[in-house]
Structure 1
């Protein structure tokens, strides 16, 4: 069996030639798409990320930035009764303690106000919605996001976001991919 030859670049260039080629490419991209379309990451410096602490120090440390990043979509995933809603409610409480406004879209229709209060949530200030369908839940979330006045929105839970067609349909009707399509459209719209 023949041994393979080591891989070599198609054209051998010096580091100066390589740097000049990169600079020329960046200059062309800047002309075509505007200054800053491509840059070296080190040129920008570190952009601070605003976070909402989860209330779980170990989780905040594991996330690497001290909590949940503001202005981003974060999915908390885990088995049933593993503490997803508890983590979300702690984040709501921390956002409220920092003077923020929070909303809770209770698609499961299962939020316990007493439990939320025990976790530090100001339930009098908490905006809550118990939508009739997945579409309604996601449209409400989108409107709240676009208001620019909400610091954190919890949607509990993705599994409970049942599409209107499934609610209105008959038992046994096929609704393959409806929820996936609903989520895909909503996430594209919200980001």
Structure 2
């Protein structure tokens, strides 16, 4: 009987490891972070998210109807353009209107709109657009991709088949979305493409008592790939009295953070005024709402039991309404307080971009696979 010999374990050298895996590994201390965040004009939301949305990361905005989901996307589109960037808007719901975009401060000249609902086609189109735009924006300007909405998208097989043929497959959309995120996530991260995916909140069945009974459409892929997930809940209407009649001007919206991988957990923003009617108020979120809470919570502003607000011992205002108005009207004071609270704004992001001397998102060497090519390869492997 042959004698078994033990084979010694060969310890690879550092050079061998670098030669074999050098392209995909490095020390964490050598990682270069851009520290660039796309902010909104809603200061409390920027604080809640940690600065806005980091370049290259994903925000999922899930909510009930008429809860401000599209409005917050328009708001981020506005700030993207203010920073010299470009917006890609996938209009799967066929709801884009230039007039409404302009009311929200968005310039249609710097928005590329895609009208399709097939995930496979959208995947390749946004990849090509992102590479083209990044080749044009060489000074680290933001690129924002908005998908409006996940609920309106589906796989090509389900959309292109006739209802009577019964070819639609359960789970087809979830599979297509999983593949979309799997093959596009790294590309968008390398190109610094900030992404907003608008989704619906729906009621989940068979949920235990006391547990969250809300769920989102499109499967679990977006839940895992998103760095920030926020749920928008619609409240009572805001009315304005005009000519003896009550007119609807907006709604009170509650914003709850479901997930945040880029900042510490922050409190829910409750009953935030959101205005939809330009006749009665500037459209969008009240930018200074809940800012008082943030400033008091971080000990930047002192609030006495009598409702007196002080900054560095100096009295600013008496009463919440007067303090809110002061924040709105006094630009210099507001900027000082925002800087003290380290709340990101368009101005601070612009300074960071201008200070950068290198292009953090070069397109040289960037490769990506077509959605259909990826599908063909998987079919071959399955066979």
Encode CA deviations 1:104-137: one digit per residue, 9 max, x unaligned: 1101101132221111100122111111523222
Give distance in 2, aligned partners of 1:29 and 1:154: 46
Higher relative contact order (CA 8 A, sep 6+): 2
How far is 1:187 from its partner? 0.8
TM-score, normalization by structure 1: 0.73
Which of 82, 86, 96 is equivalent to 2:71?
86
More strand by share: 2
Say how many residue pairs are matched: 162
Give distance in 2, aligned partners of 1:29 and 1:73: 38
1:94–1:133 Cα change, 3 Å: same
Which of 56, 72, 77 is equivalent to 2:42?
56
Alignment partner, residue 97 of structure 1: 82
2:178 maps to 1:184: yes
Which of 153, 161, 168 is equivalent to 1:161?
153
Alignment partner, residue 120 of structure 2: 135
Q: CA RMSD in A?
A: 2.6
Aligned to 2:89, the other structure's residue is in SS state strand
TM-score, normalization by structure 2: 0.38
Give distance in 1, aligned partners of 2:36 and 2:64: 28
**Is the 2:89–2:111 contact (alpha carbons within 8 Å) kept by the matching residues of 1?**
yes
Alignment partner, residue 71 of structure 1: 56
Alignment partner, residue 144 of structure 2: 152
Q: Runs of 5+ in structure 1 lacking a partner?
A: 1-26
Give distance in 1, aligned partners of 2:182 and 2:53: 20
**Is the 2:117–2:153 contact (alpha carbons within 8 Å) kept by the matching residues of 1?**
no
Give distance in 2, aligned partners of 1:136 and 1:159: 16
Aligned to 2:60, the other structure's residue is in SS state coil
Structure 1 segments of 4+ aligned residues over 6 angstroms from their partners: none
